[in-house]
Amino acid sequence: MRVDRSFWCKCLTFFTGCVASVALCGPLDARLTFSQDGGKSWSGEFPTVVSGAVIRVRAAYTIADSWEKRDVICASIHTDMPFASHTKKLDHGGYMQRHPQYWRSSLENGAYVWDLNTGGLSLGTHVFMLDIGYWRQNEKGKGCEYITDSQPFYIWVK
């Protein structure tokens, strides 16, 4: 039985695509969605709100890391302008909102949900950043490599 060259080319293309898709995902993958109705419905679209509105931000994450020892996963959202629900002013001038339970086990997938109060933001477009990550640990339990996924998102205040 002979297999023609086009069949092998198709197989090689399929295999290359599979390898590339796994490589692009990385060990930590976070997906952002937003709700303006208290979590009844969710959308991947960046929200447009009036100042003072509360937006629910959900960061669902998947950990595909074969590293055996991992520290807790931590997450925060931050921007350069003060907003009503920020929990900390950063040394470099930004503002951060930590989740009330800002760390969780990195041994399972999960999600963080914040109520982001836009009070104090001026009219216009505001850039926020989701930072989520954990430390891989060496055999002595010390952090040796930080694994992170940072994603910008935008809120339009009208």
Domain range for 115 is 27-157
Contact 135, 145 (CB under 8 A): yes
Residues paired with 134 in a beta bridge: 147
Return mean pLDDT, the chain.
84
Domain assignment present for 56: yes
The reply to whether 128 falls in a domain is yes
17 lies in a domain? Answer: no
Let me know: does 152 contact 88? Beta carbons within 8 Å: no
Query: Considering the domain boundaries, does residue 64 fall inside one?
Result: yes
Percent of the chain with pLDDT over 70: 84
The three-point CA angle 91-125-34 to 5° equals 90
Output the pLDDT for position 67: 83
Q: Is pLDDT at 80 greater than 60 in this prediction?
A: yes
Write out pLDDT tens, residues 83-121.
999 999 999 899 999 988 878 888 788 999 999 999 999
Please give the share of the chain, as a percent, with pLDDT higher than 90: 57
Q: How many domains does the chain have?
A: 1
Considering the domain boundaries, does residue 86 fall inside one?
Answer: yes
Residue 70 lies in a domain: yes
Does some domain include residue 87? yes
For residue 142, is it within any domain? yes
Please report, for the domain that includes residue 102, its CATH number.
2.60.40.150
Max distance between CA atoms of the chain, in angstroms, equals: 72
User: Bigger pLDDT: 106 or 1?
Assistant: 106
User: pLDDT digit string (tens) for 17-39?
Assistant: 433 333 345 789 999 999 999 99
